[in-house]
Every structure is written in C-alpha cells, then in structure tokens.
Structure 1
Amino acid sequence: MHVPDGFINAPTSAVTAVVAAGAIAVSLRGARRELDDRTAPLAGLVAAFIFAVQMLNFPVAAGTSGHLLGGALAAILVGPCTGVLCVSVVLLMQGILFADGGLTALGVNITDMAIVTTVVSYAVFRGLVKVLPRSRRSITAASFVAAALSVPAAAVAFTFIYWIGGTTDVAIGKVATAMIGVHVLIGIGEAVITALTVGAVVAVRPDLVHGARDLRQKLRLRVHGELVDAPAPEAAPVAARTSRRTLWVTGLVTSLVLAGFVSFYASSNPDGLEKVAADKGIDKKTGQHASADSPLADYGVKDVSDARLSGGLAGVIGVGVTVVAGSTVFWAVRRRRAGDDVSATATGSV
C-alpha cells in the first residue's frame, strides 16, 4: 500500500507530513517507557523482519497481490509507540533506497501504514486480551483479529486522504469499495503472518512480548494486613542473555533468508493499491520517484544482470541497513531513558 508521488496533492501531503512528524515525536517519548535493556535489541530486529516480509507479496485475487503492513506485528511485539517507529524506519529505508513509496508521500505512508495500523490493531488487541482467557492461545488469537482489521482500516484511511487531496477526479465511492474489498482479503494474509510470528515468539520468550506482559500474574502478599505486590523473581542472567541472543540471531537469519531467497518467489502481480489505482485511474498523475536512479531501486542491484542474484542482494542489503538503522534509533531511545532514570534518582536523593 505504498503511496507513490502524484496520488495526493502537495497541501494534503504537507498536512500528513506534520501529522506523521508529530506522531513520531510522541512515539519517541512513548518508546522510552516501552523499551528496556531486554526488549530494545528486539525492536531493531522487528523493523528488519517487517522489511523482509514486505518483500513477500502473496496472491489474494485474480491479478492482485498483497503484502504485510506490519503495524499490528510491531505493536504487539514491542509496543504501540515503538511499533510506529519500527514501521516508519522501514518506510524511510524503502523510500530512500528502493524507490518504494514516494518521498513527497512519506507523510501519507507513515500516517496510513505506521500510525493507523498500529493504533487500530493495538486497540483491538488490548480489548480482546481483556475479555479472553489469560493464555498464550488468546494472545495469538487476538493478534490474528487485530492484524486482520488493521489492513482495511488503512484502506479506509487512504480513501479518506484521497477524498481530501486526490489529484484525479475519481468517484470516491468507487475508490472506497475497491480499496476496502481487496484489503479485507489482504488482511487475512496479514493476520496469518502476524499470528504465526507472535505465537512463535510467545512460545519461547513471552516475557519479551509487549502484548503478553499480562500473562505473568503478579504475586500478592499480605503484609501488616494489606495486600502488596511481591517483587518479581530475578531470572538467571546468563541463561536469559543467551536465550535473547539466540532469538535475535534466529530472527535475523530468518529475515535474511526471506528477503534474500524466498522473495524471488513472491507474486509479481500489483498489490492492492496499485491494482485499484490502475483500474480506477488514480495513477494518471504519478510522478517519477526522486530515488529512481538509486542503485537499489525496485529492489534490485544496479548492473547485476541475474534477476535472482540482483533481488537477493537487494533484500539482504535492505535487511542489513534496516536492522542497523532501527537498532541505532532504539539504542538512542533506550540510552535517553537510562539518562532520565539516573537524573530522576539523583534528584530524588538530594
């Protein structure tokens, strides 16, 4: 659902850029509360994994494909604020390096694919978790429903943005019907990928999954006639570090394999937005991408003639760049939180 340059006019694009910038600023502050020394490294990996899986277009209807948006997956694994940042990092890398999603439309894409999907999916997820039994199976089921709903929600958001600032004269009812219809189907694929991934991580390290933190029932003790929360037992540091490292390495290797090898077998059909744009005439004023001459444009390495090798190398480079960029952002966020904690402690001791 990457919106290219030319679909949305300049004033509307500027407004969405302001909205996106504001949401990122809020998310940076929120991520400082969500991330700790255990989960910060996972956030960079989540961004890289989303980048890799987005290369795997899957068929959903005749002549149409879809791909993961990733907002639900990121929000459930690392938290909604961190999730917005994860998807935003992916969109930025895709726009600059791979000419995927217009640079003037970056605000539109972040608003639609990062903010809307994350907010909608996490709200649905938290609502379901509160009413479902406290179990890992419930986390997986809630992930499926939340992800499934997040994709048509993004389609509705795009339709609204297009209604306000579309550059072509197309009946908004036709756009809405086509966008929502195809993205309901794409949402099923998103739900399957999200549920499988969340379920796999919850099975091995539920303590690292932001959305599964309620699985750990707090122990309460009666002290002097009052119930108080008992301190959490300390985990074995060496074993925990080894397990987190294993999870991180496994996730990175999986991302590299998906982007570097499996992506070659992805569907070549246009995705839902591209198909609707072509059928309804939304794409009449599509502009040339500012990064069209990038050596990695269109997910291929320039001057590498073998299509399989070219696409595979581009995917591996993309995963590497995204995990470095994402990890740098989240390391900085975590470092800022650590500095705030030290300042608060020092202030309190004065």
Structure 2
Amino acid sequence: MHMADALLSPAVAGTMYACSTAVAAYSVTKIRKEDDQTKIPTMGIMGAFVFAAQMINFTIPGTGSSGHLCGGMLLSAMLGAPAGFLTMIGILLIQCLMFADGGLMALGANVWNMAFYGCFIGAMVIWRLVMKNGASKKKIMAASIIGCVVTLQLGAFSVTLETLASGITELPFTAFVSVMQPIHLCIGLVEGIITGAVLCFVYEARPELLWGIEAVDKKEKMPYKKVLAILLAMAVIIAGGLSLVASSLPDGLEWSISKITGATEVESTGGIYNFFAGIQDKLAILPDYGFKSSDTIAGTSFSGIVGGVVVILLCVVCCNLFKFFRKKA
C-alpha cells in the first residue's frame, strides 16, 4: 500500500506529513517516560522482521493481485503503540530512501496509512480490548485477525480519500473504493493469520514480551535472548531466501489502479514531483530491491539482508540518541 507521489497533491502530501509528525512527536514523548531497556533490541529485531516480511508478496487467488504485511499490528502488540509507530517510521523511511519503495513526497501519507492505524487503532483499541481479561492463543489470534482486517480497511480507505482530496481524476472515488476495499480485506485476513501465528509463538515462549500481558506461570520459559535470536533468524531467512519466491503480481494498490486506468501507476508531471523524484533517485542505492546494474536475484537477497541490518542500526541509534527507555534515577 505504498503510495507514489503521483497520487497526492503537494497540499495533501504536506497535510499528511504534518499529521504523521504530530503522532511521532506524541510517541517520542510517551517512550521517553518508559524505562524498559529490553525494548531496544526488541524494537530493532522486530523492525528487521517486519521489513523482511514486507518483501514477501503473497498471491491473492483468483484476483491477479498480491499483498504483503503492513506490520503495524505485529509491532505494537510487541512494543506498544508509540514504539511500534516509530519503528514503522524507520522501516518506511529506509524503504523510501534506500529502495525507492513509496514516494518521498508521499512518505507522510504512507506513515499514516500503514503505521498509524495498525499501531494506534490495532493495538491501543482492538488488542487492548481483546486482552483486557487475560490472554490466550485463541484471543491472540482473534485480536490479530480483527485488528489487521480493520486497520487495513482504514488504511485503504485513507488512500482513496487522500487521492480524492488531491483531485486525481483518473481514479474516481466510487470506483477506486469499490476495488480497494475488497482486495485489502483479503490481504488483511492473510496478514492477521500470519501476525497471530508469530504472536502465539512469542506468547508460548516468553509471554511478557507481548504488550500489556503479564508473565504466566510455566515450568520452562524460553530465554529472552533465544526468542529474539529466533525472530532474527526468521528475518534473515525471509529477507535472504523467501523473498526470492515472492509473487510478482501487482499489489493491492497497483492492482486497484490498473482496474480503473489500465496501468499500475499514475503519471505525475511538475517541478515539485521532479524535485522529490530526483532526491529519491540519488539516494536509492538499491532501487526496487536490486542492484542498479544487474537483474540478478542476488540483488534481492542482498537488499533484504542489508535493509534489515540498517533498520536495526537505525532503531538502536535513535533509541540511544533520543534517550528512549532509559532507567530513571
């Protein structure tokens, strides 16, 4: 659901930057009051995991479309909404600047559509309500599926509203909504099942790693470091190996655009669009998750591994730079 710059007018793009920045500022304020330093490595590794998982486009049978995880619900169920939101910003920033995935002018909108709903609606509303009287694997799976479906529907609807407000006449609102919502309903169901499976593993191994869930009595619990090591290994396998078999079909947004216009992208012209595109072209060292001068599949694996490492480093550096999760005197 990464929007391209061409879908947004400068005014709408600026508005979405302002909205996302306001939520980021709120998140920073909340995190600076926490003192759980174990969240720093968890933030980095889960960021790498979601980055890797977003590289896997899965086919939606019978549609000619594909989808991938957004990851906001997964991150926030582990970290809490503020930390999950900031981690998603890091992921989307790396995707945009290093891999030219999503427009630079559209970054604020992508943060809002993919991070805000999953983190704050998915976790702070749906996850918290379902887990109110204690957790179980059934409740975790239910919260994951409901949360992912609802938040993906909200994100998809926001894309259509932002496009409408931008005056993109090639994508009439009614027609755009009629294709965007059903395809993202299917994607949300798959994301919910995957999210639930990961969270159930964490619940069985180390339940206190889940946000808002207290430890349960078990004779044997997997060591904290081992849980993170398994999640990191899964991220490496997904990014370096499974990414090679990702579906090549257009994702839900591209597919929806093609149903209306016959092409997977909307063209943009004008100085401001060229300005942002020029910056992105210069910064994207691995455009479309591959080497610039070669189409070898090694470029995809390399991009996945390098991207995950950069996400971890960004999370850890920012946590220390901004003094997140510091123990209070």
Q: SS at the partner of 1:315? A: helix
Residues 58-101 of structure 1: CA deviation (Å, up to 9, x unaligned): 01142100000011101111101111111111000000000000
Task: Compute the displacement of 1:35 (Å).
Answer: 5.7
Which residue matches 2:267?
Answer: 285
Relative to structure 1, the CA distance from residue 198 to residue 211 in structure 2 (aligned partners, 3 Å threshold; closer, same or farther) is farther
Distance in structure 1 (CA, Å) of the matches to 2:203 and 2:9: 43
Larger radius of gyration: 1
Residues 157-209 of structure 1: CA deviation (Å, up to 9, x unaligned): 21222221243343211111111010000001110110011111111011111
Which residue matches 2:25?
Answer: 25
Q: SS at the partner of 1:284? A: coil
Distance in structure 2 (CA, Å) of the matches to 1:71 and 1:201: 16
CA contact (8 A) 2:171 2:257 kept: no
CA contact (8 A) 1:139 1:211 kept: no
Which residue matches 1:226?
Answer: none
CA contact (8 A) 1:2 1:109 kept: yes
Given the two structures, how large is their TM-score scaled by the length of structure 2? 0.89
CA contact (8 A) 1:34 1:82 kept: no
RMSD over aligned Cα atoms: 2.2
One-letter amino acid matched to 1:299: Y
Alignment of 1:175-194 (within 5 A): 175-194=176-195
Task: Compute the displacement of 1:336 (Å).
Answer: 4.5
Distance in structure 2 (CA, Å) of the matches to 1:141 and 1:35: 30
Which residue matches 1:302?
Answer: 292
Relative to structure 1, the CA distance from residue 147 to residue 305 in structure 2 (aligned partners, 3 Å threshold; closer, same or farther) is closer
Which residue matches 1:338?
Answer: 326
Which residue matches 1:204?
Answer: 205
Relative to structure 1, the CA distance from residue 331 to residue 206 in structure 2 (aligned partners, 3 Å threshold; closer, same or farther) is farther
Q: 5+ unaligned residues in a row in structure 2: which ranges?
A: none
CA contact (8 A) 1:66 1:272 kept: yes
CA contact (8 A) 1:299 1:314 kept: yes
Distance in structure 1 (CA, Å) of the matches to 2:295 and 2:324: 45
Which residue of 115, 124, 127 corresponds with 1:125? 127
After TM superposition, the structure 1 stretch with the greater mean CA deviation from structure 2, 21-30 or 158-167, is 158-167
Task: Compute the displacement of 1:285 (Å).
Answer: 2.6
Distance in structure 1 (CA, Å) of the matches to 2:128 and 2:103: 33
Task: Compute the displacement of 1:337 (Å).
Answer: 4.6
Q: 5+ unaligned residues in a row in structure 1: which ranges?
A: 218-238, 343-350
Relative to structure 1, the CA distance from residue 337 to residue 67 in structure 2 (aligned partners, 3 Å threshold; closer, same or farther) is closer
Given the two structures, how large is their TM-score scaled by the length of structure 1? 0.84
Distance in structure 1 (CA, Å) of the matches to 2:135 and 2:68: 31
Distance in structure 1 (CA, Å) of the matches to 2:267 and 2:188: 28
Which residue matches 1:75?
Answer: 76
Distance in structure 1 (CA, Å) of the matches to 2:135 and 2:106: 41
The runs of at least 4 aligned residues of structure 1 exceeding 6 Å deviation read none
Distance in structure 2 (CA, Å) of the matches to 1:124 and 1:142: 6
Distance in structure 2 (CA, Å) of the matches to 1:322 and 1:135: 31
Q: Percent identity?
A: 28
